[in-house]
C-alpha cells in the first residue's frame, strides 16, 4: 500500500495498471492545476511552505515534513487499506460482502453523494483564497496552506471515484467540480455554507471548527458505506480532517486566551480598544457558524437519507459501534419539531431521522469543544460562558427554515427577529471591526495582537520557525 511518488499522479491504487483511468485522470490534472492557480490561495506560486505530505496510509505515513512550493504539491489518490472480508454493516444488505463496483440500481444516489462531498472541498479553498494576505503569523499561514492543499486532495479523492466508477457522466461531474464556484451567482457551490464568505481569520477558525466538523461527521458516515472504495477513501480523508478541526479549535482558543489576558490586564470586558476580540463578539460568530453548519446535515425528516441507509450507501456515525439491528425497522428517534408554536422533540421513525441523529452527534461534539474554550475563560476567573444556540436558530434548511427562533429556542415574529438579530449574529459593525484587525504579520516569531501564540509549533519546531519562505 505504499504511495508511489514517481508517478505523475501519486497513488496507492495501482493507477499505472489501468491505462484508461490513468489517462482520464491525467487529462483532468491540468484543469485542476489551472483552477488552483486561478482560485487557490492568491499570490502563493513562489512560496515554499513547511508542509506535511502523506507517504503511506499507515499511521506513521504522516511523519513526512518538508518545504514544498505549493503548486508543486503532489496531490494524489490514497485509499485506506481494504479490510479483508468486510461486509456491509447496515441496511437491507447488511452482512453481504461489500461492493467493489457500483451497484447499478444505486448508481444515481451514490454519484449524488460523491458529487456533493466533492463539491465542498474546492469550495473551501475558494472561500479561503484571500486569507494568506492577512495572516496573524507564519505558523498560522502555514496551517492555512496545509488545510488548503488537503482540501484540494479531498477533491481529488472524489474525482478519482467519479472517474474510476462512473464512466462518462463521472468524467462530466469531475469537470463540473471545477466549474461551480463559491458564491458564484450563476454556478454556485451545492451547499449553502460553501457559498458564504470566509472574509477574515476569525471566520476561518470558526469555519474550521464548525464546518470542517460537518466534514468529519459526513465522512465518517460515508466511511461506513457498502461501496468499499468510497468507504476506504473517506477513512483516509478522516485522518486529515482531525488536523483541520485542531486548527479551528486551537485558533479560537488562542483568540479567547488573548481576550482574557486583555480583560485581566485592563480590568474591562471591552477589549476592542486594546486590539482584542471581545467574548460577546466571539459568541456571535459561534452562533453564525454553528447554525450555518447545522444546515449541512439536511432535512430533519429525509426520505433521501432513509434510502441511503436502507441501500447501504451512507451509514450512521460509528455505525459498527452502535448496538441495534442496523436496519432501523422499528426504532424511533426524537426529532425537534414545531408544535403549537413551541419546539419540542417528537419521536419519529429512526430511519427517516438519520440526518437528525448525525446532527445530534455533531452538536454533542461541538459542545465538547465549547467546554474546552470555556475552561480557558474560567481559568482567568472570568464569569462568562459560551453557549451553542438552539438547533432551530438561524436555519435555512429543514423544519426550521422558515421560522424565526431566538438562540434560546423561542419562536418569535419576523419583526422581533429583524430588531434583535444584530445582537445574535455578527453585524456589519462587528465584521468591520474584525476587518481592522486583519493586518499581516509575516516576521518569524511575531504574532498579531488579537491572538495568543500557540503553545507549540509544527512537528516539534518552535513557533519562531520560518514556516513559510517567500521567494
Ligand atoms: N444546502 O433529504 P435532504 C466537508 C436539499 S463538509 C442546500 O436532507 P439530502 C468540508 C437537498 O439537496 C461535508 N440544499 O437532502 C468541510 C434536497 O434537494 P432536492 C460535505 C440542501 O441530499 C469544510 C432537499 O434539500 N459532505 O467535507 O438527502 C471544508 C432534501 O433534503 C441542503 C456531505 O454533505 C443544504 N445544506 O441530504 C471542506 C455528504 N441540505 O433533492 C470540506 C454528502 C439539503 O429536493 N451529502 N438540501 O432538490 C449528503 O449526505 C446529503 O446530500 C446532505 C443532504 C446530508 C447534505
Ligand atoms: Fe475536506
Ligand atoms: Fe477539512
Q: Divide the 471 residues of the chain into consecutive groups of 10 and give the mean pLDDT of each group.
A: 82 93 96 97 95 83 87 92 97 98 97 98 98 98 98 97 96 97 97 93 98 98 98 96 96 98 97 98 98 97 98 98 96 96 97 98 98 98 98 97 97 97 97 98 98 97 97 80
Q: What is the pLDDT of residue 57?
A: 81
Structure confidence at residue 227 (pLDDT): 98
How many CB atoms lie under 10 A from the CB of residue 103? 15
Ligand 1 close to Cβ of residue 292 (< 6 A): no
First to last CA, the chain: 36
Kindly list the protein residues that place their beta carbon closer than 5 angstroms to ligand 3, a single-atom ion: 212, 215, 244
Residue 302 in contact with ligand 1 by CB distance below 6 A: yes
Q: How far apart are CA 442 and CA 448, in angstroms?
A: 10
User: Best of 191, 243, 301, 362 to mutate for ligand 1, by most ligand atoms within 8 A of CB?
Assistant: 191
- 94, 231, 289, 373 from 282: Cα distances, Å: 45, 36, 11, 11
Cα(433)–Cα(272) distance, rounded to whole angstroms?
8
Rounded Cα–Cα distance for residues 49 and 132 (Å): 12
Please give the distance, rounded to the nearest whole angstrom, from the Cα atom of residue 357 to the centre of ligand 1: 15
Nearest CA to ligand 1 atom 33: 117
Q: Looking at ligand 1, which residue's alpha carbon is closest to its atom 44?
A: 298
> Does ligand 1 lie within 6 Å of residue 152's CB atom?
no
| CA separation for the pair 408, 389 (Å, rounded) | 6
CB atoms within 10 A of CB 380: 15
Counting from 1 in the atom list of ligand 1, the atom nearest the Cα of 120 is 42
Ligand 3 center from residue 244 Cα (angstroms):
5
What pLDDT score was predicted for residue 7? 85
- The x, y and z cell numbers of residue 227, run together, are 461501496
Q: Which residue's C-alpha comes closest to atom 17 of ligand 1?
A: 298
Looking at the CA of 128, which ligand is closest? 1
Question: Ligand 1 pocket, 388 CB below 6 A?
Answer: no
Whole-number pLDDT of residue 34: 97
* Cα dihedral 353, 356, 362, 368 sign: negative
Protein residue with its CA nearest to atom 4 in ligand 1? 215
Residue 471 burial (C-beta neighbours within 10 Å; 0-12, 13-18, 19+): exposed
Alpha-carbon span 215 to 201, nearest angstrom: 20
**DSSP-based three-state secondary structure for 37:** helix
Any ligand 1 atom below 6 A from CB of 48:
no
Ramachandran area for residue 250 (φ above 0: left; ψ -120 to 50: alpha; else beta): alpha
For ligand 1, whether the C-beta of 235 sits within 6 Å is no
Asked whether 113 lines ligand 1 (CB < 6 A), one says yes
If you take atom 54 of ligand 1, which residue's CA is the nearest one?
Answer: 298
Give pLDDT, residue 1. Answer: 64
State residue 2's pLDDT score: 73
β pairing state of 65-69 and 332-339: unpaired
Distance 237 CA to ligand 3 centre (A): 9
pTM more than 0.95: yes
CA distance 132 to 72: 18
Q: Which domains does the chain have, with CATH numbers?
A: 86-469 (1.10.620.20)
Amino acid at each position: 500500500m505504499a504511495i508511489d511518488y514517481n508517478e505523475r499522479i501519486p497513488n496507492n491504487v495501482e493507477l499505472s495498471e489501468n491505462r484508461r483511468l490513468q489517462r482520464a485522470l491525467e487529462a483532468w490534472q491540468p484543469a485542476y492545476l489551472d483552477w488552483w492557480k486561478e482560485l487557490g490561495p492568491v499570490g502563493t506560486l513562489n512560496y515554499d511552505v513547511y508542509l506535511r505530505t502523506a507517504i503511506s496510509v499507515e499511521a506513521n505515513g504522516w511523519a513526512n515534513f518538508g518545504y514544498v512550493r505549493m503548486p508543486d504539491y503532489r496531490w494524489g489518490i490514497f485509499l485506506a487499506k481494504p479490510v479483508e472480508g468486510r461486509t456491509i454493516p447496515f441496511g437491507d444488505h447488511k452482512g453481504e460482502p461489500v461492493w467493489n463496483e457500483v451497484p447499478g440500481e444505486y448508481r444515481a444516489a451514490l454519484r449524488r453523494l460523491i458529487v456533493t462531498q466533492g463539491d465542498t472541498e474546492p469550495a473551501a479553498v475558494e472561500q479561503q483564497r484571500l486569507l494568506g494576505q492577512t495572516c496573524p503569523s507564519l505558523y498560522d499561514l502555514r496551517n492555512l496552506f496545509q488545510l488548503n492543499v488537503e482540501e484540494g486532495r479531498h477533491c481529488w479523492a472524489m474525482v478519482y471515484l467519479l472517474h474510476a466508477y462512473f464512466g462518462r457522466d463521472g468524467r462530466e461531474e469531475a469537470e463540473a467540480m471545477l466549474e461551480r464556484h463559491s458564491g458564484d451567482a450563476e454556478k454556485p457551490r451545492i451547499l449553502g455554507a460553501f457559498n458564504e464568505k470566509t472574509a477574515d481569520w476569525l471566520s476561518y477558525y470558526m469555519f474550521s471548527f464548525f464546518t470542517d466538523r460537518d466534514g468529519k461527521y459526513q465522512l465518517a458516515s460515508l466511511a461506513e458505506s457498502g461501496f468499499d472504495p468510497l468507504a476506504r477513501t473517506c477513512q483516509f480523508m478522516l485522518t486529515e480532517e482531525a488536523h483541520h478541526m485542531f486548527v479551528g479549535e486551537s485558533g479560537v482558543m488562542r483568540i479567547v486566551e488573548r481576550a482574557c489576558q486583555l480583560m485581566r490586564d485592563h480590568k474591562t470586558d471591552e477589549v476592542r480598544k486594546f486590539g482584542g476580540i471581545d467574548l460577546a463578539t466571539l459568541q456571535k460568530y459561534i452562533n453564525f457558524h454553528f447554525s450555518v453548519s447545522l444546515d449541512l446535515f439536511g432535512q430533519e425528516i429525509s426520505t433521501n437519507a432513509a434510502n441511503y441507509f436502507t441501500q447501504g450507501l451512507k451509514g450512521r456515525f460509528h455505525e459498527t459501534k452502535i448496538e441495534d439491528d442496523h436496519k432501523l425497522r422499528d426504532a424511533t428517534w426524537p426529532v425537534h419539531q414545531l408544535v403549537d408554536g413551541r419546539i419540542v422533540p417528537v419521536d419519529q421513525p429512526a430511519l427517516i431521522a438519520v440526518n437528525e441523529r448525525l446532527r445530534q452527534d455533531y452538536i454533542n461534539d461541538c459542545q465538547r469543544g465549547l467546554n474546552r474554550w470555556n475552561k480557558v475563560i474560567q481559568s482567568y476567573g472570568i464569569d462568562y460562558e459560551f453557549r451553542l444556540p438552539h438547533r432551530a436558530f438561524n436555519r435555512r434548511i429543514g423544519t426550521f427554515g422558515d421560522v424565526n427562533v431566538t438562540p434560546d429556542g423561542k419562536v418569535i415574529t419576523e419583526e422581533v427577529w429583524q430588531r434583535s438579530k444584530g445582537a445574535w449574529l455578527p453585524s456589519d459593525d462587528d465584521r468591520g471591526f474584525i476587518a481592522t484587525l486583519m493586518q499581516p504579520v509575516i516576521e518569524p516569531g511575531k504574532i498579531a495582537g488579537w491572538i495568543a501564540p500557540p503553545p507549540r509549533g509544527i512537528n516539534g519546531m518552535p513557533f519562531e520557525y520560518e514556516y513559510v519562505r517567500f521567494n
